[in-house]
Amino acid sequence: MATARDYLLSDALPHIWCPGCGHGTILGALLRAIARIDPPKDDVVMISGIGCAGRAPGYLDFNTLHTTHGRALAFATGVKLASPERRVIVITGDGDAAAIGGNHLIHAARRNIGVTTICFNNSVYGMTGGQYSPLTPLGAFATTAPYGQVEPAFDLCELARAAGASFVARGTAHHAVALTDLIYQALQNDGFSFVEAISQCPVSYGRRNKLGNAAQMLRWQRDNTVNVKAAAKMTPEQLQGKILTGVLHHAVRPEYARSYEQLVARLGAEREGKS
Amino acid sequence: MEPARLVQGNEACVQGAIAAGCRFFAGYPITPSTEVAELMAERLPRLGGKFIQMEDEIASMAAIIGASLCGAKAMTATSGPGFSLKQENIGFAAMCEVPCVVVNVQRAGPSTGGPTAPGQGDIMQARWGTHGDHPIVVLAPYSVRDTFDLTVAAFNCAEDLRVPTIVLLDEVIGHMRERVELPGQSEVRVVDRRRPDPSRTAPEDFVPYAHTPDLVPEMADFGSGYRHHITGLNHDERGRPFASPAEVDRLVRRLNGKMSLAAQRWGLFQEVATADAEVLVIAAGSPARSAKEAVRSARQAGIKAGLLILQTIWPFPAVKVADLASRARVVIVPELNLGQLVGEVERYACRGRGEPRVVSLTRVDTELFPPAQIYEALREVR
Ligand SMILES: Cc1ncc(C[n+]2csc(CCOP(=O)(O)OP(=O)(O)O)c2C)c(N)n1
Ligand code: SF4
């Protein structure tokens, strides 16, 4: 039975993440989910963009690719289409996925390409020191929102579902066991899977928004999220301001790379039929 | 040889790519390069290859890099505005040493410019469009047949050196139809990247970015057992982003050292009547066609004219230019821009004291050089 530890490269550690950062917890959940499936390491291609979250693949013993800011899904599309037999996993930040990479997210979801995407959402640009991202809540403070965020935030899960993702889920660093399970399900889905994992950035976000230390931020995640199953039994008033977690969407749709392979096979058969 | 037929430049590019082994194409439509994508969409799946129209040029460039890392020979094609968008990821390919071919069918003008008009305004962008000191090879065909040959060469060069290679067409060459005989598959020399051999290199001994004396480390496909990290960050020989200043220095110098290798192995040019030329024309792409005509007329009129056609633009063929220019009184450089190549020519041609005289002929009015314009210049300076 594989464990998360099997995938960590001891000589690539320690990691760059600050004490209390939620990214390590989320990476742990991802690795435990992979371990449950236990695929050959050679089959896994893990791709990331730029940001604190994007550094994760560099610590892992897979085929790892740390690309340009926002473009991980575009690189992943090339990898998956060229090698449909690989298990392709993308790690992205909220800025990486929703701002500079938003277009690629929409189109990867629309194609339903077989890529499992984990978005480490800490509501801020961590790597560059705390500027607002498209997921920074209205009114929150960031270095580039010194008077409070004026723009409304995205619901990335809604976006992914509307664009065609066949599996959409949201979890948190606080609910790490549940998150592992969600990622495990995402990895099993044959198509584009999107998991938003709520993370905490005490350094670039928590401090500026007086959210306390990492433990307090984790408690905030606990107190402000509701699992969809529990939510079904709650009133709109009770759900006011709450963030839904759990599996938000699952549908069976043809996976893109396989659909293209079928086209190739059909053309091959036609040609042989002719000759 | 295939039987002679009427072929468009963009089609010859596709044929050359396929003959060189291209089996993955990602692109985004833009005039005047679109035919390349359309033909790839039709042909690749019939050959077991893959075509995808991505959401933009940035994504197209990313996708071909991803495919190349899986072992595929991969290409994208674009023009002006799309070429600008590809630049960041072209730099990624240069830094991470990912072989790939980018076709840029140049069009006129900055910005949207003239989508169906010829231009050569991207000569400098092709070399320096992405940030930082980086290696890149740029080949510029001047005919339909040359487009086939140079596209094959572009793939071979990319595989040989692990550098992104640009095929810099211009609208005239891309859209022109010429009656040509294209080589059959068996006549095409195909180069493949060097991969680690499992009988010699165990996975734990594989050093993906080794600073080997030949400057080009072996490259392992994703999934082949040689798991390693690839990053656009400064990295050490193992691909890890912990390089010391000395290691970064070594990396950047090794990468850029590939430009000298490219000059030796992939420096391509053609000469017309240069042996005794006192008046030398140096041109690339469609102006080279007009120049050929002009030089022929000049010879008939008794002018000692010659022509150097640059097929490899970058690395700039400095040695060849310096050699021919050393015997010339005047060098004329016609180009469809305000003078991009001519600066390089001056750099290597001039012996001092204004010798030889370098004359820059430029056009940015979306029209071609008629041979007569170059002929007039040859007559004036003789
Ligand atoms: C093209 C480009 N623009 C800007 C940057 C600078 N940059 C690096 S990381 C980053 C934001 C990262 O934020 P996010 O994706 O939310 O990830 P986090 O660091 O919070 O994990 C930015 C803007 C860059 N590297 N490349
Ligand atoms: S800046 Fe924030 S997101 Fe980045 S490592 Fe530190 S705590 Fe984590």
Which residue among B46, B67, B88 sits closest to A82, beta carbon to beta carbon?
A: B67
Residue A29 reports pLDDT greater than 60: yes
pLDDT tier at A37 (50, 70, 90 boundaries)? very high
Contact call for A77 and B228, based on CB within 8 A: no
User: What pLDDT does A271 receive?
Assistant: 82
The model's pLDDT over B139-151, given as tens digits with 9 standing for 90+, comes to 999 999 999 999 9
The model's pLDDT over A174-218, given as tens digits with 9 standing for 90+, comes to 999 999 999 999 999 999 999 999 999 999 999 999 999 999 999
Q: What is the CATH number for B138?
A: 3.40.50.970
> Once rounded to an integer, what is the mean pLDDT over residues B165-172?
96
Q: Which residue has the tokens 């010699």?
A: B200
The model's pLDDT over B252-280, given as tens digits with 9 standing for 90+, comes to 999 999 999 999 999 999 999 999 999 99
**From the CA of B139, how far away is ligand 2's center (Å)?**
44
Residue A257 reports pLDDT greater than 70: yes
Q: Are residues B170 and B257 in the same domain?
A: yes
**From the CA of A50, how far away is ligand 2's center (Å)?**
13
Q: Residue B62's closest chain A neighbor by CA?
A: A75
What is the rounded average pLDDT for all residues in chain B?
97
The model's pLDDT over B209-233, given as tens digits with 9 standing for 90+, comes to 999 999 999 999 999 999 999 999 9
pLDDT tier at A12 (50, 70, 90 boundaries)? very high
Tell me which chain B residues have a C-beta less than 8 angstroms from the C-beta of A106: 55
Parallel, antiparallel or unpaired: strands B22-27 and B50-53: parallel
Q: Which residue has the tokens 């999220």?
A: A225
CA distance A3 to chain B (A): 18
The model's pLDDT over A220-256, given as tens digits with 9 standing for 90+, comes to 999 999 999 999 999 999 999 999 999 999 999 999 9
β-pair partners for B164: B100
Cβ atoms A96, A72 nearer than 8 A: yes
User: What pLDDT does B274 receive?
Assistant: 98
Which residue among A57, A75, A263 sits closest to B66, beta carbon to beta carbon?
A: A75
Q: Are residues B248 and B217 in the same domain?
A: yes
- 3-state per-residue secondary structure call for B239-272: CCCCCCHHHHHHHHHHHHHHHHHHHHHHCCEEEE
The last residue of one of the domains, among B243, B266, B289, is B266
Residues of B with CB under 8 A from a CB of A: 24, 26, 45-46, 48-50, 52, 54-56, 58-60, 62-72, 74, 88-89, 92, 222-225, 227-233, 240-241
Q: Are residues B260 and B280 in the same domain?
A: no
The end-to-end CA distance of chain B, in Å, is 42
The model's pLDDT over B14-68, given as tens digits with 9 standing for 90+, comes to 999 999 999 999 999 999 999 999 999 999 999 999 999 999 999 999 999 999 9
Q: Are residues B12 and B121 in the same domain?
A: yes
What is the rounded average pLDDT for all residues in chain A?
97
- Domain A4-274 fold is Rossmann fold (3.40.50)
Contact call for A66 and B70, based on CB within 8 A: no
On whether any CB of chain B is under 8 Å from the CB of A77, the answer is yes
Q: Are residues B86 and B112 in the same domain?
A: yes
Structural domains of chain B, count = 2
Residue A270 reports pLDDT greater than 90: no
pLDDT tier at B101 (50, 70, 90 boundaries)? very high
Torsional sign, CA B16, B18, B23, B26 = positive
Residue B350 reports pLDDT greater than 90: no
Q: Are residues B278 and B258 in the same domain?
A: no
Helix, strand, or coil (residue B177)? strand
Which residue among B66, B225, B240 sits closest to A82, beta carbon to beta carbon?
A: B66
pLDDT tier at B317 (50, 70, 90 boundaries)? very high
Q: Are residues B101 and B201 in the same domain?
A: yes
Contact call for A61 and B227, based on CB within 8 A: yes
Residue A274 reports pLDDT greater than 90: no
Cβ atoms B129, B168 nearer than 8 A: no
- 3-state per-residue secondary structure call for chain A: CCCHHHHECHHHCCCCCCCCCCHHHHHHHHHHHHHHHCCCHHHEEEEECCCCHHHHHHHECCEEEECCCCCHHHHHHHHHHHCCCCEEEEEEEHHHHHHHCHHHHHHHHHHCCCEEEEEEECCEECCCCCEECCCCCCCCCECCECCCCCCCCCCHHHHHHHHCCCEEEEEECCCHHHHHHHHHHHHHCCCCEEEEEECCCHHHHHCCCCCCCHHHHHHHHHHHEEEHHHHCCCCHHHHCCCEEEEEEEECCCCCHHHHHHHHHHHHHHHHHHHC
- Cβ neighbours, 10 Å, residue A76: 32
User: What pLDDT does B325 receive?
Assistant: 96
Contact residues for B300 (Cβ-Cβ < 8 A; gap 6+): none
Percent of chain A surpassing pLDDT 90: 97
Q: What is the CATH number for B345?
A: 3.40.50.920
Contact call for B227 and A74, based on CB within 8 A: no
β-pair partners for A46: A64, A89
Ligand 2 site residues (CB inside 6 A) read A 17-18, 21, 23, 52, 122, 126-127, 201-204
Cβ atoms B277, B326 nearer than 8 A: no
Residue B93 reports pLDDT greater than 80: yes
User: What pLDDT does B351 receive?
Assistant: 78
Q: Which ligand gives the minimal distance to the CA of A51? A: 1
Q: Distance between CA B174 and CA B106 in Å, rounded?
A: 9
CA distance A233 to chain B (A): 41
Q: Give the tokens for residue A243.
A: 């963030």
Percent of chain A surpassing pLDDT 70: 99
Write the residue with the smallest CA distance to atom 1 of ligand 2. A126
Q: Are residues B199 and B301 in the same domain?
A: no
Q: Are residues B254 and B288 in the same domain?
A: no
Write the residue with the smallest CA distance to atom 20 of ligand 1. A126
Q: Are residues B110 and B126 in the same domain?
A: yes
Q: Are residues B192 and B340 in the same domain?
A: no
On whether any CB of chain B is under 8 Å from the CB of A41, the answer is yes
Q: Distance between CA B287 and CA B285 in Å, rounded?
A: 6
**Number of CB pairs < 8 Å for A and B?**
130
- Cβ neighbours, 10 Å, residue B105: 31
Q: Which amino acid is at A103?
A: N
Cis peptide before B135 (omega within 30 of 0): no
Domain spans of chain A, in order of start: 4-274
Is the pTM higher than 0.80?
yes
Q: Are residues B222 and B346 in the same domain?
A: no
User: Counting atoms of ligand 1 from 1, which one is nearest the CA of A50?
Assistant: 9
Ligand 1 site residues (CB inside 6 A) read A 50-53, 69, 93-96, 120, 122, 124-128, 133
Interface test with A, best of B68, B69, B88, B89 (most A CBs within 10 A): B69
User: What pLDDT does B354 receive?
Assistant: 79
Which residue among B50, B223, B228 sits closest to A260, beta carbon to beta carbon?
A: B50
ipTM of predicted complex: 0.98
Q: Residue B241's closest chain A neighbor by CA?
A: A58
Percent of chain B surpassing pLDDT 90: 97
User: What pLDDT does A17 receive?
Assistant: 98
The last residue of one of the domains, among B223, B239, B266, is B266
Phi, psi torsion values for B286, nearest 5 degrees: -60, -35
Residue A275 reports pLDDT greater than 60: no
Domain that holds residue B174: 1-266
